[in-house]
Amino acid sequence: MQTLSNISFKSRNSLVKDAGLVCRKVRTAFPYVSHAKAAHEASPEILKNKDIVNFILKREKTLKEYREDQRHIQKPFNRYKEILYCAIKEKLAACYDLSVLTELVLRLNGIKNCTKVSLTNAEGKLLNHSAVIVKTSNNPKKNIIIDPWLQDCGLESEMLTKYKSIYAKYFRKLSPNDKIELILRPQEKLSQEEINYFKEKYPELIINKALFTKA
């Protein structure tokens, strides 16, 4: 399995290398607790430890409470601030929150043609998962998917294949023969002044490299 640690350096595709830099930036900037991730990846010994499981469940409940509060925030700028607080101070995030933050990191680094996507199966049922798509050119074959929750990224066609194979265990409503569809979510509106605010407040989110220039 291709992991975050080797995406940037072993991929021959410069677009995927850049996506790997973004994926790594999000992962290091926002270490998080995720019950769903632990359920699939933690060892049986850890999952038998009631104290650990109860801790993770409690944190999951706290995340849901933050999410409920964020739903009532109308201005995107203020909503981003709350999601950042939750991820940085509380160390809480799931695929949706990480996708929001990935989109923000991309925009802070000058990438405008990016947006969150939700995954659905062939029947149009949501798979309860979010990622980010970057349109690097007018050629859809060069679209990149960055999935910060799975800590992976790649060309859209490659990632859709991975979702049905090595990552299928994460999706209950997905069968091997299913066709995955992507639902693009509207990009949140941020003024240049608001983007500059986040750049100044969170300089650690800036990547010292021009991204996706070789499409």
Are the CB atoms for 94 and 30 separated by under 8 Å? no
SS3 147: strand
| pLDDT reported for residue 42 | 75
List the pLDDT tens digit at each of the 215 positions of the chain: 444 544 544 566 899 999 999 999 999 999 887 767 777 777 878 878 888 888 888 888 888 888 889 988 999 999 999 999 999 988 888 899 999 999 999 999 999 999 999 999 878 888 999 999 999 999 999 999 999 999 999 999 999 999 988 998 888 777 777 889 999 999 999 999 999 999 999 999 999 999 998 76
| pLDDT reported for residue 163 | 93
Return the number of other C-beta atoms located less than 10 Å from residue 190's C-beta. 18
Q: How far is CA 141 from the centre of its chain?
A: 21
Domain-located, residue 72: yes
Domain-located, residue 212: no
Number of helices and strands in the chain (H, E): 9, 5
Domain-located, residue 214: no
Tokens describing residue 165: 């194979």
Number of structural domains, the chain?
1
| pLDDT reported for residue 9 | 44
Domain-located, residue 210: no
Measured distance between the N- and C-terminal CA atoms of the chain, rounded to whole angstroms: 25
Domain-located, residue 57: yes
| pLDDT reported for residue 41 | 77
| pLDDT reported for residue 95 | 93
Phi, psi torsion values for 195, nearest 5 degrees = -65, -40
DSSP bridge pairs for 152: 147
Please state whether the predicted TM-score (pTM) of the whole model is above 0.85.
Answer: yes
Range of the domain at 102: 4-203
Select from 9, 10, 14 the least CA-distant residue to 210. Answer: 14
Domain-located, residue 58: yes
Domain-located, residue 213: no
Select from 145, 205, 142 the least CA-distant residue to 181. Answer: 145
Domain-located, residue 126: yes
SS3 6: helix
Report the alpha-carbon distance of residue 90 to residue 87 in Å, rounded: 6
